Amino acid sequence: MTRRHLFGLALGAGVAATAASRRWALGINTYCLRFQRWNDRQLFDYCVGQKLDSIFLQDSLDPAVMDPKHWAEMKAWVKDAEMRVETGGGAILPKTTEGLGQSVATLRKNLDRAAGMGSPIVRALLASDRYSMPDDGPVEKHMETAVKILREVRTQAMDLGLKVGIENHKELMAYQTRQVIEGAGKEFVGSYLDTGNPVFVAEHPLTTIEELGPLAVSFHLRDSVVYEQPGGIAVQWVPLGEGTLDFKMLVERAAQIIPAGVYIYCKPITARPPVVLPVYNDEYWKTWFPKGRSRDFGRFIALAKQGRSYDRPHVTADVGDVRDKYMSALKPQQMEHMERSLAYCKKVLDLGVKWRG
């Protein structure tokens, strides 16, 4: 056995030991409680009651959401509770080039808000999905636009000591999101790493973790069922621990490569019906993912072959105009799914610090 081989074994054992001993601080992403229509104080109190270490305030519904006095209040609440707060905004790509200035201005305001609350990051994304991206030009053009917008706020972000966390959403594959982050500058841009969105771009979340993990500034867990259907692969979000994904494996791999100090968040988004990706249709790849990587797609197909549809009773009415008609059923289901997911995070994945007493 060579000296180099012995060194490799020792290094591998050290990485495994680090992953096994890592104690993740746990929070929730508040978007998952949006049906409750709670203000920020109610969301914060829920997190305190659940003995969480952090709160990720996403898409806040609070009437004072853009009031600097409210930002200071939130900062004081989390400090008194010895918690952490993270927050941010939404999509940064404008529909037209005329909207570029407004996109930059909105991102600047979100940076101010994050700093006012004491958040070390500000969440952003390019677009809600590939269908929402501007119609003019290929995806590479829109990636370049995103880099341009991000570079406009570099000085402000660095002066505030913040990083922009780009969420891998339903518009890019992980390697493309990495290219945006690296193109803008890793010194002030990182990955808001989400395990739920990859399946909507025919990507295994393990691929996403391995591609973006070293750049992660925030890590969000969401489960999915992934299974074969006539005409393609069906995907649907479900409560944590109830889908096709092996989250023990995903979290263990993440612990090996995600930087120390990154918080982990429970983010179950449910009540939406399955979506079938027409992955065997040439037009699908030609139109949306012309540069998809065969190795990554092969891993996704292998995942689908292990999966099956979600068979637990649930209401799937989080769609368009139907949502409000079924809100009396959606609200309690959302709470139940959150608490089932939190129990899974704590008891099965062994995440979190405060709840242990």
- State the pLDDT at residue 131: 82
Q: What is the pLDDT of residues 70-110, one digit of tens each?
A: 999 999 999 999 999 999 999 999 988 889 999 999 999 99
**What are the backbone angles phi and psi of residue 282, rounded to the nearest 5°?**
-55, -35
- State the pLDDT at residue 271: 98
Q: What is the pLDDT of residues 217-237, one digit of tens each?
A: 999 999 999 999 999 999 999
What is the domain partition of the chain in residue ranges?
21-223+243-269+336-356
Does the global pTM surpass 0.85?
yes
- State the pLDDT at residue 21: 65
**What are the backbone angles phi and psi of residue 15, rounded to the nearest 5°?**
-65, -45
- Average pLDDT for 52-68: 98
Average pLDDT over the chain reads 93
Closest CA to 160 of 107, 83, 220: 107
Q: Which residues, 6+ apart, have CB-to-CB distance to 76 below 8 Å?
A: none
Percent pLDDT > 90 in the chain is 85
- State the pLDDT at residue 20: 53
- State the pLDDT at residue 273: 97
CA distance 256 to 240: 21
DSSP helix/strand/coil, 233: strand
Placement of tokens 């990859």 in the chain = 198
| Residue 85 and residue 75 in contact, taking contact as beta carbons nearer than 8 Å | yes
How would CATH label the architecture of 21-223+243-269+336-356?
Alpha-Beta Barrel (3.20)
Placement of tokens 């829920």 in the chain = 46
pLDDT for residue 13 is more than 80: no
Q: What is the pLDDT of residues 258-267, one digit of tens each?
A: 999 999 999 9
The pLDDT confidence band at residue 11, using thresholds 50, 70 and 90, is: very low
- Average pLDDT for 243-249: 98
pLDDT for residue 57 is more than 60: yes
Q: What is the pLDDT of residues 131-144, one digit of tens each?
A: 888 877 789 999 99
- State the pLDDT at residue 65: 97
pLDDT for residue 344 is more than 60: yes
The pLDDT confidence band at residue 205, using thresholds 50, 70 and 90, is: very high
Percent pLDDT > 70 in the chain is 94
What is each CA distance from 64 to 35, 119, 256, 357, in whole angstroms? 18, 17, 39, 33
Q: What is the pLDDT of residues 181-191, one digit of tens each?
A: 999 999 999 99
pLDDT for residue 196 is more than 60: yes
CA distance 212 to 186: 12
| Residue 74 and residue 114 in contact, taking contact as beta carbons nearer than 8 Å | no
Q: What is the pLDDT of residues 289-323, one digit of tens each?
A: 888 888 999 999 999 999 999 999 999 999 988 99
Structure tokens at 161: 């000591």
- State the pLDDT at residue 133: 82
| H-type alpha helices, 200-293 | 205-212, 247-257, 282-287
